[in-house]
Structure 1
């Protein structure tokens, strides 16, 4: 049974990697896509932004609609949609077709990810649930960070089509692994749509969603411009910048593992201290940004904290509504995507008005607001109660 659980969590982690890789990997080949479809780079950017909008819109609804269906069948459906979308993207005759091949799978993105978090948590004891979820989050971090350089490398070393085929192959492998090794998972004790929707009547649900939005905004409001910061403030050349971006991504995965342990044993202390820790990193970033050696240490610590933050956000949302985990995970995904969008906009605002080094102000403002929101939570982050199915 233990080996089966490990295999299940591994497949879920790989599945989340494949889906996040499809979403974020395109960033590494945007210039090639713009040239291929003869569109501007800003137009090609819609391949990223419309995907994120699709996730944000469908996050609260799609997991709810599929909540009563056998979870293995739902995962196979979503993975099949992603494989089909990837294949169409490889040979898309026009930019419009490529855009549709991206947007349609985006609406199914929250279904798989919310299921992956829920199934991972329910596959172990209640005490071990944060650790299981943290392992799935490794796939999230890898998909967000590793997919970009891999796709960029394949496009430059082979062809644009090979980079797109890479997305399809990863999702296809997970589809086969799910089909062959994941057991049937019928939903037991299914909650009605009304019962699940009732969590929106609870103030703690909205407080938690606001906290997740602001905490994600605090991270991505600064990280979205990290490469530009290293270039303009630290005066680094492209190779050291690439190294620090990889370091940040690797540190993210370390943070995922550490978060699982901290949320298992010290959830209340960790949630309360996170804004202060992130604020300390941004203060160091602002004061020591021009110096390359301190930036290596800052990047490492920042990456670890950012990886922990993803797990913390998911914990906040599901602990607020343990009676409807799929719907709560959908709200988590929507809140994080909206937070990323707003954070990036805020960071851009301060860069335009004050200069690149002042992008940290966007992070500080989100941190202060998130701390204020977190103090409103009356349950003090009660542990998530597991449900059958």
Structure 2
């Protein structure tokens, strides 16, 4: 893989860590800003909202800007934002800063995906997407635990100072490694065409698959700790190790999904969706048995991220002629899906059902996803559709 992809990986790792590490230091942040832990939780939901809404808007406002310049500018905004968070005097300013960084986050991943696939041959697109996505999985495996440990040792503000240093490293890497014409700004195609490409069935069905995948993943994962403790019977001290194993499985899954996307995208995607439905049913069945449950959670984590890669590759492939809006909807869609999954899980639990039912709800979502993918692929083959050519460069 080209070295520029590793520069994008470093930035993806930085953005992923700052999104998720807040959960690990949330009690300290709440105490330091003199608010309750539930109030501090808005730092998580506010970040997701910034990605989902602000990311697409900023992407639409910067279509003519050099992609390298834009990516470096987003990394600069990230770095300044981390320093500002470390110095935030109160909750309101901290929340505002988190939302601002989230806007840069949502824009970065949309643009980075487009740049990544432009740097490789067509048959390597899946692996290029996988490498950027691996920044998120590695951030969960390494960045979040280390950031949490730093916060526990030296205070939560130290966590954000370290994130600032990682931001500087990402800026240096992109300045040094990204070619000046990497993913050059395309000739503006107009807002109307940006919207029209979303009407292609390969695009909107992929967005449905994305939402179903998030329900299958974050419906159970949001409540994984009580599920493991109350249903599986694990001591709380084991939960971090299970999550670490899940993260390792996810990292392997990202690259497996990249390989399969470059091989036969839709047959591989349909097979993995069906397999994930079965895997969630297995989790329901083995949830009372610790060893089997741990093994199932690892495989489940791998499949979650293996599936995410071909979905994103498909969206980028079928919007190559007007990719700005569509690419920015990828991180936005994931975050909307996460919010829906968590809310659905809360509603189910509030209705009196136990944690064990959550994997079955996820399995149902994956059955829907498999059916949607099968119908979409059948229509594509029937109509003999071909992906569009990229928009001409300026």
The bucket for the TM-score relative to the shorter chain is over 0.9
The 5 A counterparts of 1:141-180 are 141-180=137-176
Question: Contact 2:50–2:99 (CA<8 Å) still a contact in 1?
Answer: yes
CA pair 271-47 structure 1, distance change in 2 beyond 3 A: same
| 49, 63, 72: which one aligns with 1:76 | 72
Asked if 1:100 is matched to 2:96, the reply is yes
| 214, 223, 226: which one aligns with 2:221 | 223
Question: Contact 1:121–1:386 (CA<8 Å) still a contact in 2?
Answer: no
The DSSP-based 3-state class of the residue aligned with 2:234 is coil
CA pair 56-145 structure 1, distance change in 2 beyond 3 A: farther
Structure 1: give runs of 5+ residues left out of the alignment: none
Aligned position for 2:358 = 359
Count matched residues.
385
Deviations 1:292-321 (A, max 9, x none): 111221122111101212213212322332
Cα-Cα RMSD = 2.0
Aligned position for 1:212 = 210
Question: Contact 2:2–2:120 (CA<8 Å) still a contact in 1?
Answer: no
Distance in 1, matches of 2:310 and 2:358, equals 24
Aligned position for 2:43 = 47
Distance in 2, matches of 1:227 and 1:384, equals 44
CA pair 114-244 structure 1, distance change in 2 beyond 3 A: same
Distance in 1, matches of 2:386 and 2:215, equals 24
Question: Contact 1:208–1:317 (CA<8 Å) still a contact in 2?
Answer: yes
Question: Contact 1:122–1:387 (CA<8 Å) still a contact in 2?
Answer: no
Asked if 1:273 is matched to 2:271, the reply is yes
Asked if 1:305 is matched to 2:303, the reply is yes
Question: Contact 1:263–1:312 (CA<8 Å) still a contact in 2?
Answer: yes
Aligned position for 2:292 = 294
The DSSP-based 3-state class of the residue aligned with 2:2 is helix
The 5 A counterparts of 1:309-388 are 309-352=307-350, 353-377=352-376, 378-379=379-380
Aligned position for 2:283 = 285
TM-score, normalisation: structure 2: 0.92
TM-score, normalisation: structure 1: 0.93
Deviation at 1:350, TM superposition (A): 2.3
Aligned position for 1:193 = 191
Structure 2: give runs of 5+ residues left out of the alignment: none
Distance in 2, matches of 1:115 and 1:165, equals 26
Distance in 2, matches of 1:67 and 1:110, equals 15
Deviations 1:103-148 (A, max 9, x none): 1111121211111111111111111111111111110212244332
Deviation at 1:387, TM superposition (A): 5.5
CA pair 329-65 structure 1, distance change in 2 beyond 3 A: same
Distance in 2, matches of 1:299 and 1:235, equals 15
Aligned position for 1:246 = 244
Deviation at 1:175, TM superposition (A): 1.1
